[in-house]
C-alpha cells in the first residue's frame, strides 16, 4: 500500500512536468520557424566503394527558450499536435535553398534524402508545395529521395500509395525507412513501388550479437535483393559492421563510422 501510494505521488508531478514540456515544445514550433531556430544537418551515405553518394537531411533545433531539442523528441510532439506539416514544409524549402551549394562541391552525382512523416502523407496538398519548391529552386528531381516509414501505410494505404506514386512520377526516389523496426509487414513490399529499403539500425547493432540476429539481417538483405530494391544500412558504427554488410551485398551504408550529420558550412568545407 505504502509503495503504491508513494509511487503515485512521484508519478503525478513527473507527468505534469512532462506534459508541460510537451506543451511548451508544441507551442514553440511556430516561433522557432519565425526566429530561424531550425537548421539542417546532412549525413553522408556511401556506396560499396565507400564513395559518398548521398546525404540525409536531418533537422536540428537550437531553441532560445529550451536549448538544443532533439528531433527524436520534438518530431513526435509535432506530429501529435498537428504541427508537423509546418516543419516538413520548412525542411523541404530549406533543403531546396541549400541544394545548389551542396551539389556544387560534389565530385559525383548525389541524392539528397528528406524524411516525411506518416502524418504528412495524409495531406494531398503537400505534393503541390513540393512541386512548387522544386520549380522555384530549379531542382532536378533525380537528386531527391523521400524516406518514409511503414507507419505511413498503416492508416490509409491507398492515400499513402497515391501520394508517394506522385512523387515517383515527378522523378524522385522513395526509401522505406527503419525497415524491420516496429510494425513491419512484408505484405507492403509486394504492393508498393519503392527504390530503397533502409535496414533499421537495430539490425546493424545486433550483427554478431547472435547467430540468429545475424541470419535475420542477411535474410532481409537477400530478400531486398530478390525484390530488386537498393539496400541501405543505417547506424553503421564499426569497420566490422561495414565489412559484413558489404560482403552480404548492401549497396549503401550510413552511420557514424563514415560520417556524422554536419551543418551546411561543415559540408561545404569538406
Ligand atoms: P531517422 O530518420 O531514422 O534518422 C537516423 C537517426 O540516426 C538520426 O538521428 C541520425 O543522426 C542518427 N544516426 C545516424 N548514424 C548513426 C550512428 O552510426 N549511430 C547512432 N547512434 N545514430 C546514428 P536524429 O538526427 O537525431 O533524428 C532522429 C529521428 O528524427 C530521425 O530518425 C527521424 O525519424 C526524425 N527526423 C529527423 N529530421 C527529420 C525531418 O526533417 N523530418 C521528419 N519528419 N523527421 C525527422
Ligand atoms: Ca530517415
Ligand atoms: Ca532511419
Ligand atoms: Ca528512425
Nearest residue by C-alpha to atom 25 in ligand 1: 58
Say what the pLDDT of residue 1 is.
44
Among candidate residues 43, 55, 139, 38, the one with its CA nearest the CA of residue 90: 38
Q: Residues with Cβ within 5 Å of ion ligand 2? A: 115, 147, 177
Rounded CA separation 27/200 (Å)? 31
Mean pLDDT of all residues in 9-21: 76
Mean pLDDT of all residues in 143-165: 91
Per residue in 195-236, pLDDT tens? 999 999 999 999 988 898 899 999 999 999 999 999 999 999
Of 89 and 12, which is predicted with more confidence? 89
Scanning the structure block, which residue is given the C-alpha cell 529521395? 145
Phi-psi map region of 198: left, alpha, beta (phi>0 left; psi -120 to 50 alpha): beta
Whether residue 7 is predicted with pLDDT greater than 70 in this model: the reply is no
Whether residue 13 is predicted with pLDDT greater than 80 in this model: the reply is no
- State the pLDDT confidence band at 114, using cuts at 50, 70 and 90: very high
Whether residue 150 is predicted with pLDDT greater than 60 in this model: the reply is yes
Ligand 1 environment, Cβ below 6 A: 43, 58-59, 70-72, 75, 88, 91, 115, 117, 177-178, 234-237, 255-256, 261
Q: How many CA atoms lie within 13 A of 170 on its CB side?
A: 25
Say what the pLDDT of residue 17 is.
83
Q: CA separation (Å) from 123 to 131, 135, 156, 164, 261?
A: 14, 20, 12, 11, 28
Whether residue 8 is predicted with pLDDT greater than 90 in this model: the reply is no
Amino acid at each position: 500500500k505504502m509503495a503504491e501510494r508513494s509511487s503515485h505521488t512521484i508519478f503525478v508531478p513527473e507527468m505534469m512536468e512532462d506534459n508541460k514540456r510537451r506543451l511548451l515544445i508544441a507551442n514553440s514550433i511556430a516561433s522557432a520557424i519565425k526566429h530561424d531556430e531550425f537548421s539542417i544537418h546532412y549525413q553522408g551515405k556511401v556506396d560499396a566503394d565507400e564513395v559518398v553518394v548521398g546525404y540525409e537531411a536531418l533537422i536540428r533545433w537550437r531553441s532560445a527558450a529550451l536549448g538544443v531539442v532533439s528531433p527524436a523528441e520534438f518530431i513526435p510532439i509535432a506530429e501529435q499536435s498537428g504541427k508537423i506539416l509546418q516543419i516538413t514544409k520548412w525542411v523541404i524549402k530549406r533543403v531546396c535553398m541549400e541544394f545548389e551549394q551542396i551539389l556544387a562541391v560534389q565530385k559525383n552525382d548525389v541524392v539528397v534524402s528528406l524524411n516525411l512523416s506518416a502524418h504528412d502523407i495524409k495531406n494531398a496538398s503537400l505534393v503541390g508545395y513540393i512541386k512548387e519548391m522544386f520549380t522555384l529552386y530549379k531542382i532536378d528531381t533525380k537528386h531527391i529521395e523521400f524516406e518514409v516509414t511503414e507507419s505511413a501505410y498503416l492508416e490509409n494505404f491507398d492515400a499513402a500509395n497515391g501520394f508517394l506514386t506522385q512523387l515517383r512520377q515527378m522523378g524522385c526516389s522513395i526509401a522505406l525507412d527503419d525497415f524491420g523496426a516496429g510494425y513491419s509487414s512484408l505484405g507492403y513490399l509486394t504492393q508498393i513501388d519503392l527504390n530503397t529499403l533502409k535496414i533499421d539500425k537495430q539490425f546493424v547493432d545486433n550483427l554478431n550479437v547472435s547467430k540468429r540476429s545475424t541470419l535475420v539481417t542477411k535474410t532481409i538483405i537477400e530478400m531486398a535483393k530478390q525484390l530488386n530494391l537498393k539496400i541501405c544500412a543505417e547506424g553503421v558504427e564499426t569497420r566490422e559492421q561495414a565489412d559484413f554488410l558489404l560482403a552480404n551485398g548492401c549497396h549503401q551504408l550510413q552511420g557514424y563510422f563514415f560520417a556524422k550529420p554536419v551543418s551546411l558550412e561543415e559540408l561545404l568545407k569538406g
